[in-house]
Amino acid sequence: MKSWAIVVGINVYHRRAAQKPLDGAVADACDFADWVLDPLGGNVPPERLFFWTYPWPVALSAGRLKDYLEGELPSWFIPDDKKDSDWQPPDNARAPKATEITSTIETVGRGAYTTAFVDNDEEVRRVYVFLAGHGIRARIYGRGQDETCFMAGDFHPKSSELAAGLVPCESFRKALLHERFNEALLFADCCRSEASRLMTQVQPVSDFDGDPIAPWGMAFAAQEGQPAYETCTEPYRGVFTKALMDGLRTHRPGSAGELYAAPLRDFIHSNIKSYTVNDQLPQLSYRPDPHGPLIVTGPAGLPNGPELNVSTLANGTRLILKGGDNKPVADMPAFVVTGPTLSLPPLPESLYVIEIDDGSGRHRMFVQPTREKIHVP
């Protein structure tokens, strides 16, 4: 299988969009991008990952995404009469526009399709799409149907005419499967509330007025007409993406480590309650029935490490992670408090001790995995 991915996260929109800033969309995009780069995850080569967030991520820990961002980034389709080429690196001073999102990956997909046709290459071409930010339900112009639309960086609501800056997710999925890719997995962590302006319409991006017969999956953070939420405490994240990434990394119900769309849906429905008190229920659709496409296979990754509440400790305090034998975990440097919370790296399932390195003997034991925030006294 050959895989591509386009990953977008937007926390801050321009003033005309009239949208409140988000706290977790960029972090969600970073987490998903790290997974698609993982050979045991999406297995997307760096040159096939199109990544753009606003603001641009800073202070990333060492790892796949940090290495990717420090390298030469793949170019996006950004038409500009002042430039010699329409293909430019992502502009980290702003959020991507709707047409930049759709045209970039659609053009790349059409090129991959053409190459495969010429070479008689029948290898599966899969595309991952991850969109985190604001969203609404809006009417598709000329088709009389509503779709969930992701708000891109140029979103501008208008009355009685086409709204700029919206990516209609269903149309986008169909376009990607029409003579471009032959598998598509789309994840959208955004609200699906009805547009406040009843006349708001959006231009379809699909150049195919039908539904391509191909394996696909679409996962939305909430049911139609419903909002999506973020976690209430730092580090802020979309609650849907938190449950999604837990499933993608750790849930392997198949006898050979397979994870299909249907059991991923069930896992998310069961585990999203760990991250929110709101009655948020994601919606996952897929073809073919009954299990949907194979998402990932192989050994499960390590569960994410717990989040520590260190709000009572002074900045600069050192913390030592020990195993159940009360010996420091090998090759694990001390952690330094820099704020009210601290996230531990992925850890194998076991008993652990987090000890304050000040000679006082103060410590806190915990069992991994845990979804509870650990309070360090």
Which pLDDT tens digit goes with each residue over 257-280? 999 999 999 999 999 988 888 899
Between 108 and 82, residue with greater pLDDT: 108
User: Are residues 121 and 186 located together in one domain of the fold?
Assistant: yes
Angle, alpha carbons 141-147-151 (nearest 5°): 90
Q: What is the CATH number of the domain that holds 284?
A: 3.40.50.1460
Going by pLDDT thresholds of 50, 70 and 90, the confidence category of residue 82 is: confident
Q: 239-250 vs 261-271: helix axis angle to the nearest 10? A: 130
Question: Using CA atoms, how far apart are residues 84 and 191, in angstroms rounded to an integer?
Answer: 38
Of 251, 267, 296, which marks where a domain is finished? Answer: 296
Look at residue 287 and tell me whether its pLDDT is greater than 70.
yes
Whether residue 301 is contained in a domain is answered as: no
Look at residue 159 and tell me whether its pLDDT is greater than 80.
no
User: Are residues 238 and 369 located together in one domain of the fold?
Assistant: no
Determine the average pLDDT of the residues in 355-360. Answer: 93
List the domain range (segments joined by +) for residue 324. Answer: 307-375
User: Are residues 53 and 97 located together in one domain of the fold?
Assistant: yes
Give residue 195's pLDDT: 63
User: Are residues 164 and 230 located together in one domain of the fold?
Assistant: yes
- Report helix, strand or coil for 376: coil
User: Are residues 291 and 316 located together in one domain of the fold?
Assistant: no
Nearest Cα to 153, choosing from 215, 102, 116?
Answer: 102
User: pTM of the prediction?
Assistant: 0.84
Whether residue 118 is contained in a domain is answered as: yes
Determine the average pLDDT of the residues in 113-141. Answer: 95
User: Are residues 20 and 83 located together in one domain of the fold?
Assistant: yes
Look at residue 198 and tell me whether its pLDDT is greater than 60.
no
* Count: domains in the chain: 2
User: Are residues 324 and 344 located together in one domain of the fold?
Assistant: yes
- Taking only the tens place, the pLDDT of each residue in 160-190 is 567 889 999 999 999 999 999 999 999 999 9
Give residue 346's pLDDT: 81
- Taking only the tens place, the pLDDT of each residue in 36-53 is 999 999 999 999 999 999
Q: What is the mean pLDDT of the chain?
A: 91
What single-letter DSSP state applies at residue 273? G
* Phi-psi domain of 199 (left: phi exceeds 0; alpha: psi -120 through 50; beta: other): alpha
Q: What is the CATH number of the domain that holds 357?
A: 2.60.40
Give residue 228's pLDDT: 96
